[in-house]
Amino acid sequence: MTGAPGVFPLSGDELGGLLSRIRCRDGAAFAEFYRLTSARVFGVVRKVVVNHQISEEVMQEVFLEIWTKAASFDPERGSALSWTMTMARRRAIDRVRSEIAATERLQVWGRTTHPADYDSVVEDVLSAEEQQRLGRSLTRLTPLQREAIDLAYFGGLTYNEVAQQLGTASGTVKSRIREGIIRLRGELTPAGG
């Protein structure tokens, strides 16, 4: 049998005949089947996998599967070529899924086994300490300043909404908040900072 690699001068029946011989462990039939189908198998795999080296590995797996499962080929269900291409496509998709899963496992492992770039205990302590200082500082404001700041910053209200809630003028609310912020800044700013 002659012809360039990957060219299909044979009919589907002839490829099916090669598979029948491969079923009986005929090495020459396998070599001819490989010669006739390898370019197409590689093309299908490469489209899915993209990476050249991994595509070659998958192609080897496909031909190993053809060698071991030639007996499962049923010409009543389709041609030898479609059986082979389906096998190649399935193997390629399985490899891509496996590579993605391995990458995700490595990412999860990396996130869970490598310590953070900072000392989270120190950060947590500082955060709790800052919250306590803020709480103490808020108690040193006048009740009117504290209420206006609480509604604006912690309640998320605008100056006009705070004014409506408190039943006072918007300018008065702005003054209370400004004076309260100045006082808080003085309380929270470290000495010399």
pLDDT tens across 141-164, in order? 888 888 888 788 777 888 888 888
pLDDT tens-digit map of 17-50: 999 999 999 999 999 999 999 999 999 999 999 8
Model pLDDT, residue 84: 95
Virtual torsion, Cα 148, 154, 156, 160, nearest 10 deg: 0
> pTM value?
0.53
Domains of the chain: 12-113 (1.10.1740.10), 120-188 (1.10.10.10)
Name the least confident of 4-8, 16-20, 24-28, 181-185. 4-8
Distance of CA 173 to CAs 19, 57, 105, 166, 185, Å?
88, 72, 54, 9, 18
